[in-house]
Amino acid sequence: MTQQQKNRLLIIGVFALSIIPLLSAWFIKNNTQLLTNTTNNGHLITPVISTQKDDLRGIDDFSSANIKELTGHWLIVNIIPNSSCNAVCLEAILKTKQLRLMLNKDLSRTRRVALVFNNIAKTTAQQWWLKDSLLWRLHQDKQTTDDQALFIRLHDEKYPLDEHLITRLIGQENRERALRSDLIRVQPTPALINKINLLHQGSLPEGMLFLIDPLGNLMMQYEPGFDPYKVKNDLLHLLKISQIG
């Protein structure tokens, strides 16, 4: 085989790897019976709600720089419909962090997203993202009574993470690494907000979760208080199906 032929095969292989997820998502969208014939823990959205690239914009530098990551991946989407993120809302965000880690080898096929409906003060939003990055450190097997109490208290927006607590939670770890986030924060257009709100007769409760396919279609929704293990089962099933074609 000549070098030219090898290069041609390499180009074809790269193209196939990029197009297969999109074809698979299209297949699922047009064959939803594959989902309805199984036991789903969430609710299938029928018809699906489609999104376009310009329906979402990053609300900070990190999210704007990574907005292209939303295309071609399965999205695990937390909804923040109000100007606050109460205990139920924050708990849902922490659950999706746990959920993505549970996917193991399929983790790279997904992205975490926070869909923020309103314009939020930078200092307020910064607290949400800090807690997403750090609170898991208080919720581990060797959790003390004090850690448990602090974990619960910090779910309340009235109790921010100050510099003393941030330093305590990071410990000896590199600060930049400890605060690094995988959560892409975006704001939807008013038109998309209206479409999503209609799923709950015009008003979404705090703590909702959505799954979006690689083509940008909202496919599954989960009520506040969802079980991340059950969502994982649904998502793994979707990921398995999406390898078809």
pLDDT in tens, 17-31: 444 444 444 544 455
pLDDT band, residue 38 (cuts 50/70/90)? very low
Class of domain 3-241: alpha beta
pLDDT in tens, 1-14: 665 554 455 555 44
Q: What proportion of the chain, given as a percentage, has pLDDT over 90?
A: 65
235 and 107 Cβ atoms separated by less than 8 Å: no
Average pLDDT over residues 156-164: 94
Is residue 118 exposed (0-12), middle (13-18) or buried (19+ Cβ within 10 Å)? exposed
Give pTM, 2 decimals.
0.82
Average pLDDT over residues 72-99: 96
Please report the DSSP string for the chain in residue order.
--HHHHHHHHHHHHHHHHHHHHHHHHHHHT-THHHHTS--SSEEEEEEEE--GGGEEESSHHHHHTGGGGTTSEEEEEEE-SSS--HHHHHHHHHHHHHHHHTGGGGGGEEEEEEE-S---HHHHHHHHHHHHHGGGGSSTT--HHHHHHHHHTTSTTS---HHHHHHHHTTS-HHHHH---EEEEEE-HHHHHHHHGGGTT-PPTT-EEEE-TTSEEEEEE-TT--HHHHHHHHHHHHHHTT--
pLDDT band, residue 236 (cuts 50/70/90)? very high
CA–CA gap between residue 231 and residue 225 (Å, rounded)? 11
